[in-house]
Amino acid sequence: MVRDAVAERVGPAADRSLIRAGERVLLIDGKERHYLISLRVGSSFHTHMGIVSHDVLIGAREGATVLGSTGRRFVVVRPTLSDIVLKMPRGAQVIYPKDLGAILVAADIAPGSRVLEAGVGSGALSMALLRAGARVVGYEVREDFAERARSNVGASMGEDVSYRIEQRDVYQGIDETGLDRVLLDLPEPWRALPHAERAMRPGGILCAYLPSINQTTELRGALEDSQFGMASTFEVLQRTWHIEARSVRPDHRMVGHTGFITTARLLVR
Ligand code: SAH
């Protein structure tokens, strides 16, 4: 009994909940506002709800409540990938978490999958792909976005991932060969189809994310005339609920539209 209690305190489970200097954490105040901060010894975080010393957070356990200078309470947890995507600096529009999850499954991303992603934008999809264990090469036409994505991905994934971004236009060609997956989040993905056909291995999955159905129809037409088959298109609607004792109902607001997801597979013809 005694030994178990000690093991629980010093074992890996206990260690994993301890927050360390250099980590990013999410602070949540009494009004459910979220703040994403990076912890540095001696620093402090200022909000109109009071000041929180980083030193109080360093060494706290994830899930703990800490006190700010004015006696306000903040819950501290590590951010999820979804928290990071919604809070990180963005240049281009990011793919929303509800769609990121669906894309990982629809494109069947697995550890070791060789993926080409274009355009990379702010790097939200890159992070989800790397989390799933993929090896990712990104083509991004704008150098400033490429730079932003490198820093966003570096900050949350570290250096221990297989990730490279090249500043280039995917409509001009793809140098990689034998790719398992090609993911396209840009306005005219049909222009990349001939290159994807040559760059992918048979059986590979192409997945495109498009905001309008006109673009999606154009892509589906181009897929018809290509070596790809088994095309499929869907969208994801996510409705959150308000749950309180006497009021259980859908929330009044929801994200009504983000984008259409289309997948297709490279066939041997
Ligand atoms: N999926 C990204 C967002 C991509 S936004 C995320 O989750 O964060 C679309 C991006 O495509 C923009 O950054 C734009 O610069 C890039 N882009 C547009 N046309 C391109 C092309 N032909 N080749 C490479 N990138 C392109």
Query: Domain with 58 in it: what CATH number?
Result: 3.10.330.20
What's the CA-to-centroid distance between 169 and ligand 1, angstroms? 9
Q: Is the pLDDT of residue 18 over 60?
A: yes
Structural domain boundaries enclosing 130: 83-266
Structural domains counted in the chain: 2
From the list 104, 170, 100, 186, the residue with the least C-alpha distance to 137 is 170
Task: Tell me the C-alpha distance between 125 and 100, whole Å.
Answer: 6
Residues 98 and 75 in one domain: no
Residues 127 and 225 in one domain: yes
What confidence tens digit (pLDDT) does each residue in 43-59 have? 999 988 789 999 999 99
Indicate if the alpha-carbon torsion angle 90, 92, 98, 102 is positive or negative: negative
Residues 104 and 237 in one domain: yes
- In this structure, which residue's CA is closest to atom 26 in ligand 1? 119
Helix or strand or coil: residue 119? coil
Q: Is the pLDDT of residue 40 over 60?
A: yes
Most confident of 8-12, 87-91, 151-155, 168-172: 168-172
This prediction has a pTM of 0.92
Q: What is the mean pLDDT of residues 221-250?
A: 97
Residues 112 and 187 in one domain: yes
What confidence tens digit (pLDDT) does each residue in 114-136 have? 999 999 999 999 999 999 999 99
What confidence tens digit (pLDDT) does each residue in 160-191 have? 999 999 999 999 999 999 999 999 999 999 99
Ligand 1, residues at Cβ distance < 6 Å = 92-95, 118-119, 121-125, 139-142, 145, 169-171, 185-186
Q: In degrees rounded to 5, what are phi and psi of residue 25?
A: -130, 160
Residues 91 and 63 in one domain: no
Residues 52 and 135 in one domain: no
Residues 55 and 18 in one domain: yes
Residues 69 and 167 in one domain: no
